[in-house]
Each structure stands twice: as C-alpha cells, then as structure tokens.
Amino acid sequence: MRGDTTDTTQSQYLDQGVARRAPWHETRCAAWARSAVSSRVTKTDITADVVSCLLREQLPHLAQRPITPMDADGWDNSSFRIGTDYTARLPTYDGYVPAVAKEHQWLPVLGPRLPVPIPEPVALGAPGCGFLRPWSVYRWLHGDTASGDRVTDFDLFARDVARFLTALWTVDPRSGPAAGAHSFGRGGPLSVYDAEVHACLDTLPADISRGPVLDTWHAALSAPFEAEPCWFHGDMAPSNLLVRHGRLAAVIDFGTCGVGDPACDLVLAWTFLDPDARHTFRQQLDVDAGTWARGQAWALSKALLTLREPDHDAAIRRYGWRHNAADIIRHITHDHITPDP
C-alpha cells in the first residue's frame, strides 16, 4: 500500500493518539466496505503475520513490537496483543465491519460516563496486506475474562455489573445508533429471532418439554418494549467482562452496542450467575417485569441457538458461560413458572 496516494490518505484516518470522533469514521469505513465486496478472508486467514504487515505499512511506530494472538479470542474479531500497551482487532467477516466505525465514533463518548474502563480506540486501519476490511488498534486493558474460578463472590459481581449497566443505560441516547443490522437485532424486537427459536425446538433434550419453552418465549413477545430507547451493550457475555481480584475491572467488545431495548443485556443472569446473585442483579437494576421477561427470552434464544451448533460445548467455552445450554433453558423456564418475588 505504499505510494503517493497511500501516504496522503493515511494521515486522514491513522491517529497515533486518541481517535477523533468526526463523521469520517463512518464515511471512510463505508467506502472501504463498498470497495471490498464479499471479502473471502476468514478467521483462519487472519494471522500475526497479517497484523505485522499492516503495522509496517500503516503504523510503523508499532511495527517493532511483538505480536501475540489472544488466548481468549472472540468470533466477530481476531485479536492480537501489540507489545504490552495495545491490541489489534480485525473483523473476521464482512458483516462485522460496521462495528469498526461505530466503536471509533462512540466509545470515546461512552467511556468517560462509565464506572469501569472500556476499549479506547487509538488508530483506525485501512484494508491492506490482503486483508480487505478496516481494522482497529485499542489501548490494552488489564484483567482476565470472567469465569467461575476468577469470580468468588457472585453477589458482589452481580452488583458490579448492574452498576455498569445502570450507568450505560442512562447515557444520553440522542444521536446514538438505533438497533438494527449492525447490532444483529439486539436491542430490537424479539420477533426478529422468532423463526430461529421455533426451528431450534427439535434440538431440545428429551427431558425438556416444548410447552414451557414456548410459554416463556411467547410471554416475552407479548411484553414489547414501550419505554424510551437507551444505550445497550448487546453482548454482556463473561468473555467480554474483565475481572481483577474477583471484581469487574473492564467491559470490552461493543460491536453490537446501540440504542434500543436494554433487555438483551440481562442474558448474563442465566448464563453465568447463580440464583441468589440473579436475584441481586434484578434488584440492583430495578427493571420491570416486561424487561426481565424479555431478558429471559434473549437468554433462551441464545441457549437454543447454541444447542443447535455442532460443537455447542466449544461455543459455551467461547462465551465463558458457567452453565451448559440445556441447563440454561431449564433455569429460564423454571424462573418463568416460579418468578422471582
């Protein structure tokens, strides 16, 4: 990518300090997306060598630092540690490209208003080195992904997460991105996933009846979101929550964030928390019955979709869930039949 044009345009989108929040993020990424229609680069193609090449061409001041693949890597992006201070994130498929501009525009707005750190963009990279998508560099955040052995007090952890969500949900939502394709339906109506939920029923274990599952799902569909839209994270999985000394230390991966119904942020209550901590979580958030029902339904749909995956145990490990998909469904339907007082 070296040459006269590259040198001129890179100064417009590569920032060696904190990323700017001008509309150029969205404009530039949209232009790159149009020029790289249906990139065939997949997750297995995104290696440390690709990142090293991109840094040499676009961020040479970082190119001499060691590049290390992340142990706890997500599905939407491939992540690499750059030295000790930075992280590179490269979208694994074209559908995840809109999140790049969104994070660069909105994370600097959200960050100062939240009680724990979130990713801080420092550079927006252009397609290159055979990688035909925009990509990002963020400051490194300290902590380990949440897990059963790293969180010893689940009641306290539930309070930490509730405090974070309460702060996020009260950030001024005006001009924020409304839920839609960029959030994969999260923050929008549950009906988007209705067909998939019904298609997953055949994968239920023999001891789980369809009746309670459908009752739980339909109860949520009959309690639509009617409040004012607010910010939501969209993927509050344990793998996106960093802890230090058992406490919430940072929240990462805002790729599915937006403005809409925050019920999708409640999934953690059934995938990670125990019943007592789940009760604390609900009390601290002070959500109404309809929001809680929709949160149950989001967790139910996630568990059903995971149960359908050929290797759902691997998916559960990737998400960081403490419970398997079938048990999550059992917990949710039990909670629906015997609601929290």
C-beta separation of 256 from 183 below 8 A? yes
H helices of the chain, in order, are 4-13, 24-35, 48-58, 98-110, 154-169, 194-199, 210-221, 268-271, 275-285, 289-308, 312-319, 325-337
Fold classified for 4-139: Phosphorylase Kinase; domain 1 (3.30.200)
Show pLDDT as tens, one digit a residue, over the chain (341 residues). Answer: 223 332 323 323 333 333 333 344 555 455 444 444 456 777 788 999 999 999 999 999 999 999 999 876 667 899 999 999 999 999 998 999 999 999 999 999 999 999 999 999 999 999 999 999 999 999 999 999 999 999 999 999 999 999 999 999 999 999 999 999 999 999 999 999 999 999 999 989 999 999 999 999 999 999 999 999 999 999 999 999 999 999 999 999 999 999 999 999 999 999 999 999 999 999 999 999 999 999 999 999 999 999 888 887 887 888 889 999 999 999 999 888 766 65
Beta bridge partners of 279: none
Give me the count of residues in the chain.
341
Domains 4-139 and 144-337 fall in the same CATH topology: no
Judge contact between 277 and 157, C-beta under 8 A. Answer: yes
Residue 308: beta bridge partners?
none
Tokens encoding 196: 């998939």
Hey, where are the domains in the chain?
Answer: 4-139, 144-337
> For the whole model, what pTM was predicted?
0.87
Among the listed residues 44, 30, 23, the one whose alpha carbon sits nearest the alpha carbon of residue 127? 30
What DSSP string runs through 77-109? EEEEEETTTEEEEEESSGGGTHHHHHHHHHHHH
Contacts of 156 (CB under 8 A, 6+ apart): 246, 247
CATH of domain 144-337: 3.90.1200.10
